[in-house]
Structure 1
């Protein structure tokens, strides 16, 4: 697993991660939100229009709608509700998009994540950036490495 360069300060937050897994496996792992992002998860995220929520008690509650799915290539989740009590604008994520783009790479898949609408000028940008790096570059990559050691029937 390798991480791309840090985000530019004049753009949406973006991060690239390479993993030694096929795009279909990465696509499936992204959908397993409780395994890599926040464990308090409910709802559905399998089809365009589905809505689901994630919650880290007292820290962040977020409701997302699946805006786009292109099998094994692209996922877009639109933030329809979000509350982060520690911020002056506790709803700064509302209306932003979490975009996952998958590209075949020589040794697996390159995942490009963009949090469209998360501006470097936002109060929560730095904390969000660190969290995305931890979740995508750490927990999701670790999940994929763990899955690499199991066969389809063992999952």
Structure 2
């Protein structure tokens, strides 16, 4: 049994609609993403100053079926091993189940033994189960904007309290 971080949800929208939302990373994760997020082999980066930086390469892009990103490099200010994400893979698998679409997110290589796991589980949960799901279902995600993003990530990392 895999211990990789895994999240899943089902939606009424088609796998094609879910795929389009997943590849529109700025619409559900962060408006500060740099680089193309919808082309095989493309590289994009995510950054929150002084907290988190990572670069991804799109290694799989199967319309209505699968999206996969290899983490080329990473830096997390809140873990002893700041490069804990480097070499891991983020994957979205789509399948039709009883007329609905199952979206399965897996961060392969991120397991409970790692320092980032709890914080990253919470953060990915907000982005995937909250913002991405909302984007698929309603056409409106809840990505972080640059303003407030650092505070949110710091709160998730436990360095400041969560805003109320």
Shorter-chain TM-score above 0.5: yes
Q: Aligned partners of 1:112, 1:102: CA distance in 2, in Å? A: 6
Q: Aligned partners of 1:105, 1:61: CA distance in 2, in Å? A: 35
| Cα displacement (A) at 1:52 | 0.5
Q: How many residues align?
A: 140
Q: Do the aligned residues in 2 keep the contact of 1:21 with 1:107 (CA within 8 Å)?
A: no
TM-score (norm 1): 0.84
- 5+ long unaligned stretches in structure 2: 141-164
Match of 2:8 among 16, 20, 25: 16
Q: Which residue of 2 aligns with 1:127?
A: 119
Q: Which residue of 1 aligns with 2:129?
A: 137
Q: Which residue of 2 aligns with 1:39?
A: 31
Q: Do the aligned residues in 2 keep the contact of 1:39 with 1:54 (CA within 8 Å)?
A: no
Q: Do the aligned residues in 2 keep the contact of 1:61 with 1:84 (CA within 8 Å)?
A: yes
> Which of the pair is proportionally richer in strand?
1
Q: Are residue 98 (structure 1) and residue 90 (structure 2) matched?
A: yes
Which runs of 4 or more aligned residues in structure 1 lie more than 3 Å from their structure 2 counterparts after TM superposition? none
- 5+ long unaligned stretches in structure 1: 1-7, 149-155
Q: Do the aligned residues in 2 keep the contact of 1:15 with 1:133 (CA within 8 Å)?
A: yes
Q: Are residue 111 (structure 1) and residue 78 (structure 2) matched?
A: no
Name the stretch that deviates more: 46-55 or 116-125.
46-55
